[in-house]
Structure 1
Amino acid sequence: MAQFHRKYTSLNVSATSSEESVEERSIAPLHERKMAKPSLTKALFKAFGKVLFVAGFFKFCQDVLSFVSPQLLKLMIHFTSDKTIPVWRGYVYAVLLFIVAELQSVLLHQYFIRQNKLGMRLRTSIISAVFRKVTTLSYCCM
């Protein structure tokens, strides 16, 4: 019975020296080996990290544009106080202010949509993992 609980490893190719091209790893029972602890955070980040970064990029762009709007307003105020500036610049400032406001709105909505989807997916995956773990436990463990 004990032989079924042991995990044997095969030969491992070592690239440390040319003389020792193949060395045998020690054979130890599975319960004596040091295994990496499972991490919920790492697993969730691995599964949903890309979506999180895309949403973060949208939020970053929206934050950058929120700093652009006051600069455009400053330019418009300067335009109205100085009569020597051509009229077409005023139109350009107004159109740019409109475009920046629209982009801010679109980016912020995309950010919220992706974050809400991500939150629901995270919640669903955690609940299903807990449910799967609870249903696999035997009655004697409870």
Structure 2
Amino acid sequence: MIDILLILVLSVLTIRGFAALRRESVVRREFGQSSLLDVLVLLYPLGPLVLLLGPRFIPAALVFLCAALLYVVPIFVASKQRNALECAGTDRVSSALEATSSATLGAIVGIIYVALAAMFVLLVHSLSSQQLGA
């Protein structure tokens, strides 16, 4: 149930972030920033799907690594773009900085979810592998 809710939340954050990034694409392009972040933002809803369906095909550790990469890479790209836009020193980049921040928000939510899911899996595994009270 919580996975479905998170997919919906990440979908909303994806749409808002993508729309904001596309609105500011002219300014970002003017200052030499690529549109890679636009594509990476569209991948946010895949994180919960990877966690749901991935263990059927690959080991759990790789599933969590793949899901985390869906959110860590956009944070690095957004950080580089934010630094470049802040160095521009003009007022025209303020809305582009806000768009970059909205894209980062979805990635942070995704990383928190992956971390909580990993801790839950480790907790359940550790409780099920030890005999309590013996």
User: Which of the pair has more CA radius of gyration?
Assistant: 1
Query: TM-score normalised to the size of structure 1?
Result: 0.43
Query: TM-score normalised to the size of structure 2?
Result: 0.45
**Which has more helix, going by share of residues?**
2
Taking CA–CA contacts closer than 8 Å with sequence separation of 6 or more, which of the two structures ends up with the larger relative contact order? 2
